[in-house]
Amino acid sequence: MTNLRAVLRHAFLLLLAVVMLYPVLWMVVSSLRPSNEIFRTPGLVLDGLQVQNYSLGWDALAAPFGHYMVNSAIVVLGAIIGNLVSCSMAAYAFARLEFTGKRIWFAIMLGTIMLPIHVIIVPQYIMFSQVGWVNTFLPLIIPKMLATDAFFVFLMVQFIRALPRELDEAARIDGAGHPRIFLRIILPLMVPALATTTIFTFIWTWNDFFSQLIYLTDPDMYTVPVALRSFVDATVDTSWGSMFAMSVVSLVPIFLAFLIGQRYLIRGIATTGIK
């Protein structure tokens, strides 16, 4: 009886795994099929490899696709550095320092976690366009330098609170100031939280479409999501294979991030979900 249940359970999980993976596999297989065969072919078996889709897709838009990958990489790198520096500083203040107004600031910080960007995007756009930042990467990076991703501040506060206070006390007795305690003691100990922040910032920024669509309208500044969208406008039959090929290319970094950082991803959402 229990054996039968275990078998059923396993069979169900396997079936579900196939269903869940199907869209991804279909995308990869379709990227290797001739464009006229992609449709109506739900199967995942390939007759031959149409690698040509990749070379055609790479050059299908105004600039080689690598150009958009580099643009995305710049934005992602800036966002990661910004989040790591600014969020860890704010988290140290909230978790370890006593100052007037701390409770109120902390409550406001929690409140901004849920704030949808759509509420502030219009005036923010006007502001950034007044200083000439539209079609630069600054509107996508500067907010991260200013810890607007409050989610990560919260994540790091939770992490620092769990570190033993004796460590900072000992350093303080030895005459270390706060910058030193932060850099030499807290930061090295919070590497797991920094890793979680890095990997989530990487994936979210790489996938982010809304703000990149708004701030980047010059084709030369397009990032990967904005460039990929152009495949929608091109409705020519022959572009389907290219579209699938570049979709696959655009997801490779996400997939690698998932393979390398799965541990941190799962721990990250699990711990913030519980507290």
Query: Which residues, numbered 135-154, are part of the site for other proteins (CB under 8 A)?
Result: 142-143, 145-148, 153
Among 69, 205, 248, 264, binds other proteins (CB under 8 A): 248
Residue 251 burial (10 A CB sphere; 0-12, 13-18, 19+): middle
At a CB cut-off of 8 Å and minimum separation 6, what does 149 contact?
83, 87, 201
Q: How many Å separate Cα 150 from the centre of its chain?
A: 15
Q: Nearer Cβ to other proteins, position 49 or 232?
A: 232
For residue 110, state whether it binds other proteins (rule: CB under 8 A): no
List of E strands, the chain: none
Build a one-symbol-per-residue string for 189-228: x at contacts with other proteins by CB under 8 A, - elsewhere: --------------x--xx-xx--xx---------xxx-x
Nearest distance from C-beta of residue 72 to other proteins, angstroms: 11
Among 4, 49, 104, 126, binds other proteins (CB under 8 A): 126
**What is the DSSP secondary-structure string of 228-261?**
HHHHHH---TTHHHHHHHHHHHHHHHHHHHHHHH
At a CB cut-off of 8 Å and minimum separation 6, what does 108 contact?
none
Nearest distance from C-beta of residue 61 to other proteins, angstroms: 13
Nearest distance from C-beta of residue 121 to other proteins, angstroms: 7
For residue 256, state whether it binds other proteins (rule: CB under 8 A): no
For residue 266, state whether it binds other proteins (rule: CB under 8 A): yes
For residue 243, state whether it binds other proteins (rule: CB under 8 A): yes
Q: Are 121 and 211 in contact (CB under 8 A)?
A: yes
Nearest distance from C-beta of residue 48 to other proteins, angstroms: 19
Q: Nearer Cβ to other proteins, position 220 or 237?
A: 237
Residues 52-81 that bind other proteins (CB under 8 A): none
Q: Are 76 and 205 in contact (CB under 8 A)?
A: yes
For residue 24, state whether it binds other proteins (rule: CB under 8 A): yes
The helix or strand, by DSSP H or E, that contains position 90, with its residue range, turns out to be helix 65-96
Compute the residue count for the chain: 275
Build a one-symbol-per-residue string for 150-179: x at contacts with other proteins by CB under 8 A, - elsewhere: ---x-----------------------xxx
For residue 25, state whether it binds other proteins (rule: CB under 8 A): no
Among 32, 60, 90, 157, binds other proteins (CB under 8 A): 90
Nearest distance from C-beta of residue 97 to other proteins, angstroms: 4
The Cα–Cα gap between 132 and 245 comes to 35
- Closest alpha carbon to 141 in 241, 189, 237, 208: 208
Lookup result for tokens 């910080």: 109
The interface region with other proteins, picked from 55-63, 71-79, 101-109, 162-170 by CB under 8 A, is 101-109
